[in-house]
Amino acid sequence: MSNIWTITWRELKAYFVSPLAYIISAAFLALAGVFFTFEIIYGREAAMRNTFTTMIFILLILAPALTMRLLAEEQRMGTLELLLTSPLHDWQVVVGKFLGSFILFLTMLVLPMLYYVLLLTVFGPPDYGPIATGFLALILMGASFLALGVFASSLTQNQVIAFFVGEVIGIILWVADAFSSVFTSGPLGEIFRYLSISRHYQDAIRGVVDTSDVVYALSIVAIALFLATQVLQTRRWR
């Protein structure tokens, strides 16, 4: 575990010595705040359902920007070989880098909690269930997008390409439900329906936590990090 936390701490320091973390955090807070304001003004209710949906979509766009440099930059600078020849397992490198981006993401979520305080102050006690499960959905979906971004970053040494690959994978999973309408029956339709990210957070933002939704998000994380590890292993033996 010490090796993983060493990589994690290294990545966190790299984030905060560059403007990237501050720019993405500011963009996330600003965009979420705009849509939260619209919901309060036009929705006229102490709820954050639409805000959570919007924040998850914003993460779909911003998460690849957080992860695009994690492995791509190491490859471009030639430092990935040093990591792979050090007494570290490939999976420790991948998990450590993922945890660095995930901890930064959790830090980004602290500021949107101010919206919850505003709800209490202005509108009185809101519906606590959907807020708690909404944040849970946000954390799980965020972890999924970040893991997919780590996988995309392992495929190339070009950060721009890593960003677009991460975006494409996320968007495909986001619109998978549309493909399921083409295959309305049969196992293929069920597969697309299960892969659809949009289906797996809707219950949570209404206050219902389904075990299958949690398993889905954790499975996306595990599979993406496993694939990234396999990519690193192929580079080790070149």
Instruction: Name the residue ranges covered by the structural domains of the chain.
Output: 2-236
- The size of the chain, in residues, is 238
Q: Is residue 238 predicted with pLDDT exceeding 60? A: no
225's tokens: 């990090």
How far apart are alpha carbons 63 and 83 in whole angstroms? 24
Q: Which of 16-20, 39-43, 156-160 has the least mean pLDDT?
A: 39-43
For residue 126, what pLDDT band results from cuts at 50, 70 and 90?
A: low
Q: Is residue 37 predicted with pLDDT exceeding 80? A: no
Pick from 224, 221, 222, 229: nearest CA to 83: 229
How far apart are alpha carbons 139 and 225 in whole angstroms? 17
Most confident listed range (114-123, 128-137, 146-155): 146-155
How far apart are alpha carbons 67 and 63 in whole angstroms? 7
Contacts of 101 (CB under 8 A, 6+ apart): 11, 15, 66, 67, 70, 146, 149, 150
Q: What is the pLDDT of residues 84-116, one digit of tens each?
A: 666 667 778 888 889 988 998 888 887 766 666
How far apart are alpha carbons 192 and 95 in whole angstroms? 28
pLDDT, residue 223, reads 92
Place of tokens 């090796």: 3
Q: Tell me the average pLDDT across 39-57.
A: 69
Which is it for the CA torsion 127, 215, 104, 69, positive or negative?
Answer: negative
Q: What is the pLDDT of residues 182-221, one digit of tens each?
A: 655 666 666 777 777 777 777 677 767 778 788 888 999 9
pLDDT, residue 16, reads 81
pLDDT, residue 117, reads 61
The per-residue b/e assignment along 55-83, b for 16 or more CB within 10 angstroms, e otherwise, is bbbbbbebbbbbbbbbbbbbbeeeebeeb
Q: What is the value of pTM for the model shown?
A: 0.85
SS3 content of the chain, % helix, strand, coil (to 5): 80, 0, 20
pLDDT, residue 121, reads 62
Q: Is residue 124 predicted with pLDDT exceeding 70? A: no
For residue 180, what pLDDT band results from cuts at 50, 70 and 90?
A: low
